[in-house]
Amino acid sequence: MPEFEEIAHKTHTAKQSKAAQRFFRLLSNFESLVEEENFALKEHNFDYIGKLLNQKDTLLKGLIEAKEAAGLGPQKNQELDQRIKLLFKNQEENNVLLRDMMSHTQAELAECYQARKQIKGVQSAYKDQTPTSQKICSEA
């Protein structure tokens, strides 16, 4: 019976090791996507950002599954903790960039709305005078 337990333990450890390797591979991919997202935000490449967000969502689900399978809990790996803290910091920087861009875009939209209102006001003034101008020209 001890032999069976040893084999079961080795099998369990091997599965955890593979899950840990998968987790760290997915984590590296996720970190790369966050960096790409930062670059795309700075370049205002919103189509690409949409694709990145979908990829990040898929990776995040895989990360959660792999973390559970690997038995990686809090405080088990100091390097992992540091990487995750850096990842959160970088993600927050991306969120700040995106919020700034949204605020800027909203301000531009408000300016466009005001300009449109002004143009409509001027346009109606010219429409009202067109028949009068035609009458003056036809009487001359």
DSSP 70-100: HT--TTS-HHHHHHHHHHHHHHHHHHHHHHH
Mean pLDDT of 74-102: 85
Q: What is the pLDDT of residue 72?
A: 75
For residue 58, give the 3-state DSSP assignment. Answer: helix
Sequence length of the chain is: 140
Task: Say how many Å lie between the first and final Cα of the chain, rounded.
Answer: 118
CA distance 72 to 77: 8
Q: What is the pLDDT of residue 134?
A: 63
CA distance 131 to 18: 82
Cβ partners under 8 Å of residue 69, min gap 6: 15, 16, 19, 22, 23
Mean pLDDT of 70-97: 82
Top mean-pLDDT range of 44-48, 123-127, 135-139 = 44-48
C-alpha closest to that of 14 among 96, 65, 55, 70 = 70
Q: Is 27 exposed, middle or buried (0-12, 13-18, 19+ CB in 10 A)?
A: buried
Mean pLDDT of 99-103: 90
Q: How confident is the model at residue 55 (pLDDT cuts 50, 70, 90)?
A: very high
Q: What is the pLDDT of residue 92?
A: 92
**Sequence ranges of the domains in the chain:** 2-139
